[in-house]
Amino acid sequence: MKYRQIALGTVTGLMLLLCAQSRAQESPIYTRWENFTSANGMPDDKVFQAAVDGKRVWAGTENGLVLIEKGKVQKVYKPEDGLANRVVTGIAVDSASGDVWLATFGGLSRLSGGEFKNYKNLSSGLANDIVYAVAVQGEFVWAATTAGISRLNTRTGEWAIFSEKNAPMHEPWSYGIAVTDKKVYFAVWGGGLLEYDIAGGWWKPYNDPDGEMEIVLFQNQGLLHDIVSNVAYNPQTNMVWASTYFGLSGYDGHNWHNYLSTDSALASDFINAVQSRGDGVWACTDKGLSYLNFKTGEWITYRSAEKGSGGEIVITTADKKVEHRQSNTTLAHNYVLNMTFQGEDIWVATAKGLSHGMREPNHQSNKEGNRNEHKSASR
């Protein structure tokens, strides 16, 4: 009886494990790409970030803010429309108010009800007009600037600045922000990864433990490098991920999980941004978009084929088996600056356009509008 229970338990356990592995192994394969470039309505090819707002997608470019809906560029906003600056580096959609906050190279903009309100260094408490990222957390708006992190309380109008003067930063140049209910994480150039506890008002810095700029002495000892280009928080796994120009770092609250191109299938150690949800981690590198299934260790990298107009999909399993696939369409460019999710689809900001990635036809796609009507820009 006892042995039967153990056997049954073992079989059940194995089945659950297999099911779990089966689910975990189901990595998304994006084989169809629609690209938005200056050839089909974008004001500039260089796209810094995309943000999903229900059925709409906002894109921040080097020459304005773009609204994409129903598979088309619907509207372009420029400084003459009230935008603080033409270079839009970051976007945050406030799901509560519907307002869209924009990080620009000329301050912070709020787009609300079709009208802009701008917050600049000279006319508000914003630390600096060069703003790389913006995030909304309840009534607070956080902005990463070259002179530190600014926080606006939208109810009281109070501004706070966090910099090397009052936070554990080596220098104030901040690149990225990730918010959770209780914490805010910051990517700081040369300052590592910073964690801010909202209730307690205290800071916890994460730095490269070996302090070496060019080498990694112990791979999972801590943050890979102090030059952190961006940060993402995954609420499903409670992990925070930091992109650096020297590899990818993840922290689960106890242990670090670091990845280099030399010992993993990461496309490049030069990573501009990272995003994560479910089991997946997406590294936006200068040599393509790399996906890591954190649970299975499988990697998938998307990049344009060296020859021809199609794309190359490189699938590397945990046991290092490599499979190369081809796709007829591909990313607008291999220099990837950021990405975001829209249902099962992804939107990828690159140096030469915005790419809308869709999964295999047997997978459900969140694609909006009539695909046949849209003329995708060819690479």
- Report how far apart, in Å, the C-alpha atoms of 258 and of each of 96, 216, 239, 252 are: 35, 10, 13, 11
Shortest distance in whole angstroms from residue 90 CB to another protein: 20
Q: Would you list the DSSP string of 323-349?
A: EEEEESS--S-S-EEEEEEETTEEEEE
- d(C-alpha 100, C-alpha 67), whole Å: 11
Greatest C-alpha distance within the chain: 79
- Closer Cβ to another protein, 110 or 225, answer by number: 110
Strand partners, 104: 88, 107
- Closer Cβ to another protein, 179 or 292, answer by number: 179
Shortest distance in whole angstroms from residue 315 CB to another protein: 41
Structure tokens at 129: 């007009």
Nearest alpha carbon to residue 285 among 324, 249, 246? 246
Residue with tokens 């280099």: 260
Shortest distance in whole angstroms from residue 147 CB to another protein: 7
For residue 20, the SS3 value is: helix
Shortest distance in whole angstroms from residue 98 CB to another protein: 3
Shortest distance in whole angstroms from residue 240 CB to another protein: 27
- Closer Cβ to another protein, 99 or 286, answer by number: 99
- Closer Cβ to another protein, 128 or 301, answer by number: 128
- d(C-alpha 136, C-alpha 141), whole Å: 5
For residue 26, the SS3 value is: coil
Interface with another protein (CB under 8 A): 96-99, 110, 112-115, 117, 121-125, 127-128, 139, 147, 154-161, 163, 165-166
- Closer Cβ to another protein, 166 or 309, answer by number: 166
